[in-house]
Structure 1
Amino acid sequence: MANLNLPEYFYQSHQVRELEALVCEHSGVASIQLMKRAGTAAFHLARELWPNCDNLVVLCGGGNNGGDGYVVAALAAQKGVNVRVLAAVDPAQLTGDAERAYRYALQESVVVEFVNDWSKPSIDDANTVLVDALLGIGLMGDVRAPSAAAIAFVNRSGLPVLALDVPSGLCADSGAVLGSAVVATATLSFVAIKPGLVSGAVNHVGELYLEDLGLQRLRQVNEGFEQALSVVKPALKRVTTNGELEALQPRDASAHKGDFGHVMVIGGGAGFGGAVILAAEAAARSGSGLVSVATDPLHVVAVLARRPELMAVGVPSGQELELLLERPSVLVVGPGLGRSPWAEQMLQQAAATQKPMVLDADALNILAAGRVLAKSGKRANWVLTPHPGEAARLLNSTVDAVQRDRYSAARNLQAIYGGVVVLKGAGTVIASDQGLMVACVGNPGMASGGMGDVLAGVIGGLMAQGLSPLNASTLAVCVHGDAADLAVLDGGERGMLASDLIPYMRELLNP
């Protein structure tokens, strides 16, 4: 996802309409001119991304998204590009700006073909690019039959696709696939980035770009516009490593290990010692002054052999853990924990301390089962880090339901359990009592064992250094994802291991 230049705040589709209306009101520009700006930006992006494109096929629907497509087609014809329009809606039914854009295309001699049967159109595959202007941000409910057939036509073509504003069939606000959706190579979002483009079905979005249609320039030159704009509150904040590093203060020259907290990682049931090693090493490398490990006695030797700076204690029962819990300032519970009676005892003893905690992996599954902690028990000083499967269990829901609306899932988890919720995945969502945030970081190479253990350790290490649960979570998520991107540059996605991230995370935390 081309997200390096994305803005700090994202807006839902109804807010985008408000922003668009404000741009027209304060600039004196008619809505058809904004449509022409959108179409112009899309045409130039298509030429930039595919400079050898000889044929442009634009698929147009009946709304303003279709109007954007007609503008693209008109500009392509002006520039001598071989272009045709496949219309999913009879142009005779067009109204408003969409009809004006259609007339503009006809004026430029664009061939417009109304398609009733999407099994019939043929496309010359040689250097051809498709432009998806079928359905925009106003889609309500699942895609109906005529549009679904057009979407299927796009997806089976195997050609590069530029989606205008949002891939057709994708919910702009949640990222849910509404029955079926275009799988785009690139998406050009207009006015603002919509939340559904950065978390959820990101496979449908491809490379993501923004054309704000003059919004930022208007902010710079029009004080009244800036004031009017403040009324539209963003739905989502994007967090980045650079932005979140401000919470991590420089160290005094006289600092000692006691100044930076003590993390205890609790987990590693029999046969799962690697998880606690990863979490503990990540906590130490993120700057915690002291890190200890409470684990099954079988794993003590392995912990010390891997990282002698760690303090490893074999704990055969929860009663023995109780004696060790006075010194740590932050607890990370769950990596490799398992769901045995031993695991439940360990979680129960940790929770009884009321100390700041990070709950990961099987600690979350035990929490979901309700056998140790009340499911309604809310805490302000813990961080929950579920993947979609764990989130589904915590919500008594399904993975599909969580992935259809990751924002609502994270918000609901936070409402039930309090504290901070880090819903992991492509476009990690962080929910707190301050609202929703998203981190557009990471890559598919992170789909390997141990990544969540490393993340939990970093969150715990940052909390031990005095960061709030929210600041620790946002910084850790960003550093974790950015470290994975750096690791990919060195060795590629395939075969990347969780431990590969740790040196890069240390580097990122010491700018």
Structure 2
Amino acid sequence: MPRELPESQRLPRALYRAEQVRALDRAAIEQEGIPAFELMERAGAAAFSILRSRWPEVRSIVVLAGPGNNGGDGYVLARLAHQHQIAVRLLMLGEHQGLRGAAAAAAQAYQDAGGVAEPFTRVPPDAELIVDALFGTGLGRPLSGIWAEAVAQCNASRAAILALDVPSGLQADTGAILGAAVEASATVSFIGLKQGVFTGRGPDCSGLVCFDGLRVPARIYAAEVLSARRIDWNQQVRLLPRRRRSANKGDFGHLLIIGGAAGMGGAPRLAGEAALRTGAGRVSIATHPGHASVLNLTRPELMVHGVREPAELDALLHRSSLIALGPGLGQADWGLALFERALALDRPLVVDADGLNLLARAPRRRDDWVLTPHPGEAARLLDIAVSEVEADRFAAVQRLSERYGGVIVLKGAGTLITGPGTRPIAVCTQGNPGMASAGMGDALTGIIAALIGQGLEPALAAEAGVCLHAAAGDRAAERGQRGLIVSDLIAELQPLLAESDGER
């Protein structure tokens, strides 16, 4: 059985594009005088160490080696496995007769140690563990032909897969799949973590992510400004301010949630409860009169108001300190009228769901809002296809920021957050597939708004809110991902916050 390794606490926070990591590799060789073959030896040894730690009982491996440096790392690992009496089949793809430099030296060292390399024809059906050493970051076009066939056979195999640096076929900068990609059980990344591993299809393909800096001196990293940064709840919880013993509810914001068109009253109800569980001082809901009388029957702490005409919203707007706009709002005349009324007031805003769909109809910029689109809403806001958003989520979130201002939260696997200033894009590395269910976005809206109400700047509230939401989802998923509903997540918010308060 595989043995789990520590993950989030030991991974660096800094994320890079592939070209940046290649520049760091060159600097280690040219400025620090570390021979390229020595770096390859370190990479192969680090990968072999992780293989032994995670799969201590493995007795045979299949190494798929490409014709570049990633294949050279595979040759080193294969040699070490052979020397430790692990049966090795090294299968070559591409022109290995043309290997140069460190990769050629690694291949020769493997053969000198008694290792055998053979051309790839198929992945052995009895493979116990497969090492993906085909491309790493060196792929610039979609996989096809024998390469795509090798990837398909890997994914169809029952064997565990260890990918070296980046799963072959995964675009290291974007998290998109180039035609086909290895779906690894674990990935060991070298020198710098690649940003695409943590968003889009990256989490699907990478499995457990491990890291080894190959003992590259810290000083060479000063030349590269990280392209993104990895965040999680263990880090973000430190942003939450302590509560004074003399505090009162007025210190923690009066949130007004606007939404809940006829038949959609559940959305603002979920946002409201999530806000209360995150520590909002007061939460009011402006909603359709048809269900106003029942929205707070099971949560009387919510102050619910039926609003038929936009003018009826004014008193609620002026009593509030911030607004969450969009959960269940709808896009008909009622929702549009409330949307425009809310935007006319100078209040911090968190905009989600139909608020975003209405914004896409008439784009405008503001500096005081947080927009929280999923990929479909992002596509409408940018007037592009969803596939274009998912092809490069980093570019999409930047375009949203440029067009709409404020803070942008692009939801999905590896949620991205960007805001004003020069801070690199934040990537949340928590969350799970069980959270792909209705109402999760409504809860996130309430969480972020509650944190703004408690004094966090919108960008920091968005980062902390995304991570709290993800951590609560992970806690709820300990009982199983399938069938997880948003109420399960909301139930974990207060315990998580209580634990965090106790630790500080």
> TM-score, normalization: structure 1?
0.93
Amino acid across the alignment from 2:445:
A
Give yes or no for the alignment of 1:311 onto 2:306.
no
Which stretch has the larger CA shift, 20-29 or 290-299?
20-29
Note the C-alpha offset of 1:122.
5.5
Note the C-alpha offset of 1:20.
2.1
2:3 paired residue number: none
Residues 11 and 193, structure 1, Cα contact 8 Å, conserved in 2: yes
Structure 2 distance, partners of 1:44, 1:33, is 16
Structure 1 distance, partners of 2:115, 2:91, is 11
Structure 1 distance, partners of 2:437, 2:170, is 27
Residues 256 and 316, structure 2, Cα contact 8 Å, conserved in 1: no
Q: Deviations over 1:225-271 (max 9, x none)?
A: 2xx42221101111222332333221222211111111000001111
SS of the aligned residue for 1:509 comes to helix
1:504 paired residue number: 492
Q: Select 2:47's aligned residue among 42, 48, 58.
A: 42
Structure 2 distance, partners of 1:430, 1:122, is 40
Q: 1:269-308 counterparts in 2 under 5 A?
A: 269-308=261-300
2:85 paired residue number: 80
Residues 356 and 382, structure 1, Cα contact 8 Å, conserved in 2: yes
Structure 2 distance, partners of 1:123, 1:247, is 51
Residues 55 and 82, structure 1, Cα contact 8 Å, conserved in 2: yes
1:343 paired residue number: 335
Q: Select 2:434's aligned residue among 425, 440, 445.
A: 445
- Percent of pairs identical after alignment? 45
Q: 1:33-432 counterparts in 2 under 5 A?
A: 33-115=38-120, 118=121, 121=122, 123-125=124-126, 128-201=128-201, 202-215=203-216, 218-219=217-218, 225=219, 228-370=220-362, 375=363, 377-432=364-419
Structure 2 distance, partners of 1:124, 1:380, is 57
CA-atom RMSD in angstroms: 1.6
Q: Deviations over 1:6-49 (max 9, x none)?
A: 21111111111222233345654211111011111111222222
Structure 2 distance, partners of 1:145, 1:284, is 55
Which stretch has the larger CA shift, 297-306 or 470-479?
297-306
Structure 2 distance, partners of 1:441, 1:149, is 32
SS of the aligned residue for 2:199 comes to coil
SS of the aligned residue for 1:416 comes to helix
Residues 383 and 419, structure 1, Cα contact 8 Å, conserved in 2: yes
Give yes or no for the alignment of 1:5 onto 2:10.
yes
Note the C-alpha offset of 1:188.
0.7
SS of the aligned residue for 1:234 comes to coil
Which stretch has the larger CA shift, 317-326 or 287-296?
317-326
- Any stretches of 5+ residues in structure 2 without a counterpart? 1-5
Residues 22 and 229, structure 1, Cα contact 8 Å, conserved in 2: no
1:287–1:230 Cα change, 3 Å: same
Which stretch has the larger CA shift, 132-141 or 498-507?
498-507
- Any stretches of 5+ residues in structure 1 without a counterpart? 220-224
Residues 421 and 430, structure 1, Cα contact 8 Å, conserved in 2: yes
Note the C-alpha offset of 1:205.
1.0
Note the C-alpha offset of 1:144.
4.3
Aligned length: 491
> TM-score, normalization: structure 2?
0.94
Structure 2 distance, partners of 1:319, 1:200, is 42
Runs (4 or more) in structure 1 with deviation over 4 Å come to none
